Structures are given as structure tokens and as C-alpha cells.
Amino acid sequence: MIWQLLSVIFPIFAIVLLGFLYGRKHTPDMASANKLNIDIFVPALIFDVLTAKSFNLIEFQSLTIGAACVVLGSALMAWPVARFLGFQNKTFIPPMMFNNSGNLGLPLLVFAFGEQALPAAVVLFIVENTLHFSVGMKIMNSSSSLLTLARLPIILATIAGLAISLLDLHIPQLLAVPINMLGQICIPLMLFALGVRLIHIDWQDWRIGLAGAIISPLSGLAIAIPTGYLLQLSVEQFSLLVVFGALPPAVLNYMIAERFNQQPKQVASIVLFGNLAALAVIPLVLAFVL
């Protein structure tokens, strides 16, 4: 069991550590790389997975519902905590809802459960991202238009991929190969960027960061485990949903908080403390499900 856990965790955190060490020495500006990942590489991965012959949309209906329950249910659990500790709702609740299903979730689930888990991992990522750019944006700004959601490359790739899958169309190999190659870039780049981001931890906001690091996995697991049983998920999908529930807050929470000037320093601390805490939380959760 120990060796199995190590074989899953080591490749992930080795790349994160490399990003951290490189970031400390060179302080690279990852903005362009992150934009390329969001606009090109991640959509390519999503499209590639959804148009693969092995992808069956019906197979993931219950998992989709479960993922939505985890995201939305986490908000209900985080609200009284924010109220009790005196944190602003718009600062504390979104990071509890929207987890790191991209930078950490995709590679973690693939390493832990094999390449056959990639379609399910992509489904979880799509659910979290769609809710983030719809419900999450509405939380931050009630006047946000949902029309912007339809213009995002990730959403466009999802719609196109699902349409091709449902119509049972075939992507020519001439196009499928470069799309697959572009998609393969996103996972290691996500991990490296996460490592670089860790150099910016602000220890002054440790109180809200520590609270987020504790509440984020606890609220996710408190929803994921009973929801998985109620939906009667298969053993593999139940395990995927539990790991999904334990993932730390997404880096995107900080970017959105910065855009709306919603205490971005505090949100950055929540994100970074949460991802550091994942070093201890993720191995325990994997030991539970594997």
C-alpha cells in the first residue's frame, strides 16, 4: 500500500517541487503559460477525451450529479463557518466550492486509477469549471452575464466534444493526433505552474488560510461520501468522487478574486495553504479509497 501511494503521489509532487524550486530561483512570469493552458491545451485535452471511442456520456450521468452536489453542498457547509469566524462570504465560500480539479485533480486521478480514469476525471473537471464560471461568477458579481460562459474555450471544447460523441462522428487521424499532443501538454504544465505559485505564500493571512485548508477537504468529503452511496456509484466512480471532494481550492479562485478586487491576498492564502495541506490530506484519502 505504501509503495502504491508513493508511486501515485511522487510524480505529481516532484513536478510541483521542481516548479517551486525553479520559481524561487528565477521567479518566472507564468501568466502567458497559464493563459495558453486555459485557452489551448486544456480545451484540447477535453475535446480529445470526449471524442474518443471509449467515452460514453450516459456512463457518467450519476458522477456528474455527484460532482455538482459536492461543489454546491460545500457552499452550504462553508457559509456558517465564514459567519462564525467573521470572514466575508465572497472571500471564503468560493474557494471552498471550487477545487483544484485541473492542476492537481486531473494528474492525481490518472496516476491513482490509470489512464482509463481520464474520461471521468475530465467530467469532474468540466462540472467544476462550468459551475465556477456560472454560479461562481454570479456569487462574485450578481450582474455577471452567463453569455460569457459560452465564449470560453473550455466550454466551447466541451460542447463540440459532446456533440461529436453524441452524433457518433469520427475525427480524422490527421486532426486527432495534433489535438492529442496539445492535450498532453496541459497536465505537467498545470503541476509546474502550481509549484511556481507556491512561492507567493503570504503568511500574514495565516488565519483564513488555515481555516480554508481545514474546511475545504472536510466539507467536500462530508458531501462526497454520502452522495456517492446515495447515487449507488460504482466502486471506481465512488473513489473518484471522494478524491474529488478532498481536493484543495483551485488557483482560479485567486485570479477571479483579483479581477473583482475581492480581498485577493486572503484568497491567495486560502488557495496556497489548502494546496500545501493537500500534501497530508491526499495520501490519507488515497489510502482510504485504494
The CATH code of the domain that includes 231 is 1.20.1530.20
Q: Report, as an integer, the average pLDDT of 167-185.
A: 91
Q: Report, as an integer, the average pLDDT of 212-240.
A: 96
Q: What percent of the chain has pLDDT over 90?
A: 43
Count of domains forming the chain:
1
Torsion from C-alpha of 144, 149, 252, 185, nearest 10 degrees: -160
Pick 245 or 267 by higher pLDDT: 245
- The C-alpha atoms of residue 64 and residue 112 are separated, in whole angstroms, by 20
Q: Residue 265 burial (CB < 10 Å; 0-12/13-18/19+)? A: middle
Provide the CA 191 distance to its chain's centre, in angstroms.
12
Pick 251 or 182 by higher pLDDT: 182
Whole-prediction pTM value?
Answer: 0.83
Is the predicted pLDDT of residue 165 greater than 80, yes or no? yes
Query: What range defines the domain where residue 250 resides?
Result: 2-289
